[in-house]
Amino acid sequence: MSFDPDALIDRRRLKRKLRWWQAATLVAVALTIVASLQASDLLFKRDTVARVRIAGIIVEDPRRDALLAEIAKDQSVRALIVHVDSPGGTVVGGEDLYRSLLVVGEQKPVVTVMGTVAASAAYMTAVAGDRIFAREGTITGSIGVLFQTVDITRLLDKIGVKPESLKSGPLKAVPSPTEPLTDEARAATQALVFDLFDFFIDLVVERRPLDRAQVLQLADGRVYTGRQAVANGLIDEIGGESAARDWLAVEKDIPHSVPTITLKPKSERSGLSEALSGLTGKSLFSNALTLDGLLSVWHPDL
């Protein structure tokens, strides 16, 4: 077998060029992967301010709690801004969200920004923030607890229906729409409401620069505008997210250059099925009819 010296030289040159292009390709792929990971904050997490939105009726939500727990542990999240636009919800829902936000607050600043409405259990949520902002026209307050029932016994009499209940005690399953409310049942239910009202008051006293007498004077169930809430100490300042970022920059040394990103709970269902479920629920049922337990909700048109 003969070897042409020129052919051997050309082959070696071709191999060197091929190796160069292979190396260049590998470098390009590696840089693309690094850039992709960096863009998604999976390689080197950049500092951020997290934004979470709380809207609609507030109930227990494990996915929301899981998100807040992740935010609390994530050292790249410098602060949390909570946008609240809600008439309230269940007492347990408000308590659950309040305590989840307190856990975040143990690790980093939490700022509440109120929207159109932040009343009842939504105000309970708001006081978990280190600083509370609202618009001048925001509706807030409505500090209190509600237990509603109806008495349909006269209606049942008219249509000839006589309900009967076999109970282990006179206060079991009361109030009930199928039996008149006795004085004993009324007193027991009112005691329940007052106990959770005291719980709500305790949270406000703990988180706001007000003593118990001042909070009790404000907590007759009425709502306040943002302007009134600043004046009576229920919130701190008029403003939106930009004002919240100013406060974080001045008081917590978190500059405006740190980007704000919106974080959402992971959905267990597809977007289409979740949207259809929400649409069906809103169109067929009143929010009040889908809530169980004691309520802390403001609903003037219900």
Supply the angle between the helices 91-105 and 183-207 in degrees, to the nearest 10.
20
Domain count for the chain: 1
Q: What is the pLDDT of residue 287?
A: 45
Q: What is the pLDDT of residue 133?
A: 98
Residue 180 within any structural domain of the chain: yes
Residue 2 lies in a domain: no
What's the rounded Cα separation, in Å, for the pair 52 and 137?
22
- pLDDT top residue among 125 and 43: 125
Q: Tell me, what's the pLDDT at 34?
A: 59
Q: Is residue 7 part of a domain?
A: no
Say if CB 297 and CB 57 are below 8 A apart. Answer: yes
How large is the average pLDDT for residues 114-127? 96
Helix (H) or strand (E) holding 126: helix 121-126
The CATH number that applies at residue 95 is: 3.90.226.10
| Token pair recorded at residue 98 | 């309040």
Catalytic positions, written as ranges: 120, 172
**83 in a structural domain:** yes
Q: What is the mean pLDDT of residues 125-148?
A: 94
Q: Is residue 32 part of a domain?
A: no
Higher-confidence position of 141 and 277: 141
Task: Read off the pLDDT of each residue in 78-84 and give the average, rounded to a whole number.
Answer: 97
Give domain status of residue 4, yes or no: no
14 in a structural domain = no
Would residue 195 count as lying in a domain? yes
Over residues 133-159, the mean pLDDT reads 89
pLDDT of residue 27: 73
Mean pLDDT of 36-52: 71
* Window from 52-61, 112-121, 155-164, 281-290 with minimum mean pLDDT: 281-290
Domain membership of residue 218 as a residue range? 48-297
- Averaged confidence pLDDT in the chain: 84
Position 282 scores a pLDDT of 41
This prediction has a pTM of 0.76
Of the listed ranges 234-248, 256-270, 288-302, the one predicted with least confidence: 288-302
